[in-house]
Structure 1
Amino acid sequence: MLTIKVNQPGGLDNIFIDDTNEPTRPQKGEITVRILASSLNYHDYLVAAGQLKTENGRILLSDGAGIVESVGEGVTEFKIGDHVVSTFFPQWLAGDVIQSAGSFQQTPGDGADGFAAEVVTRPAEAFTHAPKGWSHTEAATITTAGVTAWRALVVDGKLKAGDTILTLGTGGVSIAALQIGKLFGAKVIVTSSSDEKLEKAKALGADATINYKEYPQWAREVAAITDNQGADHIIELGGPGTLEQSIKAAAVGGHISLIGVMTGLEGKIPTGLLMMKQICLQGLLVGNRSQQQDYVKALEMNDLRPVIDKVFKYQQLAEAFEFQVNGSHFGKICVEW
């Protein structure tokens, strides 16, 4: 059975293909899944590059989609042949955030072996059904990017028709947020440093776009677009380097979802403005299994498909990470066997 692993101290040169692992038979409550596709996330890159430390020889990637090959005793939710997709926190099934979801200790591809493997055996609760009619590659985009956007906007943000969403960048989370926003009848503003990407965002339904290189004080542009009302929901992926502008761009009573830290881990926050605007600034890490199931239901009821920029082979995983870091992609990057 082929797996893609990384040796410590990490680094793309330390990614290697291993053929020594043998798939195990499912025990009570487990299923065996043939993994056919994964999608890449910035978190996966941080692990592979050694910026997030893990065990030597860790199997990479947090997202995985495939077909159930075997079912253990007591499993009734899945049957052989079902199409499934993994969950980011296999231990967080439903409800409010649990203590162990405050770290990546049980997250595949980080604290536990991931889905860069031909076959895996895991507890049945570590998967949900994939959306009917979706390819495995499409389904693999759900686990991290899709569920993050869904939780930020729908679960925590209580998105409703007529709201305004501002999403930073055009990666997987941002594009999922754009699609979810249009599904709910929201107005969506997208930022990017690339006019080409902004045109693609418009083609997907973005109501307004801002080139943040052309307008580094882009909160002013958001104010102009919204008649000085600001954005009700902000998908904040930059972190400290962009958070000040996000707070300035937010509406009174707005909701900022702090999802990414692309610009670093620490920075200044205009706390006075945050207080005066009565903004909810919420850090979040993906979501739980129940939220993923709700997201899958919504996808099945609507004609939505993820935007996939490029697909690599698992054996090209280092090359795929290099393409990801280059930042030229629009939407998701995926791998297939």
Structure 2
Amino acid sequence: MKTVISNARGFDGLTLEERSVPKPDAHQLLLRMRAVSLNFRDIDVVRGAHGNQDALVPLSDGVGEVVEVGAKVSRFAVGNRVSPTFFPDWIDGQATAEARMGRLGWPRDGVLSEYVVVDEHAAVRAPSNLSDVEAATLPCAAVTAWDALFVSGRVVPGDTVVVQGTGGVSLFALLFAKMAGAQVIVTSSQRAKLDRALALGAAHGIDYRAEPEWDKAVLELTGGQGADHVVDVAGGEGLTRSIRAARVGGTVSLAGYVAGRVGQFDLGTAFVRKTTLHPLGVGSRRTFEALARAIKVHDVRPVIDSVFPLERTREAFERLASGDVFGKVAISLV
């Protein structure tokens, strides 16, 4: 089988290798991977931000067909289409420190391979309404957005949700919030992307280059009250604006740090607004299963930016790293 490995030396360190197809143990599934997708975390991994690790198979998100099952497997059968979970050992409830250590794509080998072995308890049936590429986008970005809105944020119909940018988590948050009957405000630096977000159902778009004090624009759009929920993917020094954009008692979900890992904010503003800051950490298998059911019932379709073949993996990483994406970057393995 063909497998891509990373030696934490950047995109130049991505290498396509031939390996033997693995065999599943008693409680494992052998998946013929059909598609995978990238997250910004994967860029950090291959660039060595998480430390050096020889011959790591990157990426956490993908979907595959079960082609062989172990002797004691009971949850799936040959022919099922499933996705591995981001945290293989986090089934339900609050995550333990041990469960959160075992992430796919680092420190465990990921899914950028033609065949992958996964424990049956660490897999979720893919929604039947989605294509392979669409289904491959769910394990990290979609679960993170679902957790932000419905586990941590408890969004209800009529709420106002602000999402930053048009990457994977942000667009999933837009789609899920709209599905739940919430009003969505999207921020972006590009008018064309805002227009596309409006076409997906956003109520308002704010160009933060034209309006750098975008938090004030949110207050104006909400009659001075602020948003019920802000999904912050930027981090950095802009965190104070997210707090200011939220209503008193509102929630700011911290979903990324594309503007910087170190965030600074005015404690006085946070105390006055009584803001809940919730760092997100993807979610459990049960959370993944809940969103998979909702995606099928409501026919929610993930937004795909671009798709590359396995042999052009480096180009897929470069596309995501460019920052000029609208939706998910994926790799097809069929």
Smaller-chain TM-score bracket: over 0.9
* Runs of 5+ consecutive residues of structure 2 not aligned to the other structure: none
Aligned equivalent of 1:16 = 15
- Answer yes or no: is the 8 Å Cα contact 2:129–2:299 preserved in 1: no
Mapped partners of 1:54, 1:34: distance in 2? 28
* 1:80 equivalenced with 2:73 (yes/no): no
1:155-175 Cα offsets, whole Å, 9 max, x none, are 111110000000000001110
Q: CA deviation at 1:241?
A: 2.5
Q: Is the 8 A contact 1:254 1:278 kept in 2?
A: yes
Q: Distance in 1 between matches of 2:263 and 2:170?
A: 22
Q: From 126, 130, 134, give the equivalent of 1:134.
A: 130
Q: Check whether the contact 1:54–1:111 (CA below 8 A) recurs between aligned residues.
A: no
* Correspondence for 1:286 among 259, 282, 294: 282
Provide Cα deviations, 1:32-53, integer angstroms capped at 9, x if missing partner: 0001101110001111122222
CA distance in 2, matches of 1:225, 1:101: 41
Q: Secondary structure of the equivalent of 2:298? A: coil
1:35 equivalent in structure 2: 33
Structure 1 CA distance, aligned partners of 2:22 and 2:309? 24
The one-letter code of the counterpart of 2:36 is S
From 205, 209, 223, the counterpart of 1:209: 205
> Which residues in structure 2 correspond to 1:92-241 (within 5 Å)?
92-102=90-100, 105-241=101-237
Query: In the aligned structure 2, how far is the partner of 1:34 from the partner of 1:169?
Result: 33
Are 1:307 and 1:332, in contact at CA under 8 Å, matched by a contact in 2? yes
Offset from partner CA, 1:130-172 (integer Å, 9 cap, x none): 0013211110111011000001101111110000000000001
| Residue matched to 2:312 | 316
1:101 to partner: Cα distance: 4.5
Verify the 8 A CA contact 2:7 2:52 in the aligned structure 1. no
Q: Give the distance between the partners of 2:102 and 2:309, measured in 1 at CA.
A: 26
1:71 maps to a residue whose letter is: V
Moved over 3 A (4+): none
Question: 1:84, 1:130 within 8 Å by CA — same for their partners in 2?
Answer: yes
Q: Secondary structure at the match of 1:190?
A: strand
Secondary structure, aligned partner of 1:301 = helix
How large is the RMSD of aligned CA atoms in angstroms? 1.0
- Distance in 2, Cα, partners of 1:251 & 1:280: 10
Give the CA deviation at 1:54: 4.2
Preserved CA contact (<8 Å) 1:23 1:121: no
Number of equivalences: 333
Q: CA deviation at 1:187?
A: 0.4
CA distance in 2, matches of 1:71, 1:93: 20
**Cα offset, 1:106, TM superposition:** 1.6
What percent identity do the matched residue pairs reach?
Answer: 39
- Residue 4 (structure 1) shift: 0.4
Per-residue Cα deviation, 1:221-260 (whole angstroms, up to 9, x for no partner): 0000000110111100000232010011011110110010
SS class of match (1:36): strand
Task: Give the letter aligned to residue 6 of structure 1.
Answer: S
After superposition, give the CA deviation of every residue in 1:181-218 in whole Å (9 maximum; x if it has no partner). 11010000000000000000000000001001111111
Separation (CA, whole Å) in 2 of partners of 1:51 and 1:287: 22
- Residues 273-282 or 93-102, more deviating: 93-102
Match of 2:263 among 250, 255, 267: 267
Quote how far apart the aligned CAs of 1:268 are: 2.0
* Aligned-partner SS, 1:305: coil
Q: Tell me how far apart the structure 2 counterparts of residues 132 and 173 of structure 1 sit (CA, whole Å).
A: 21
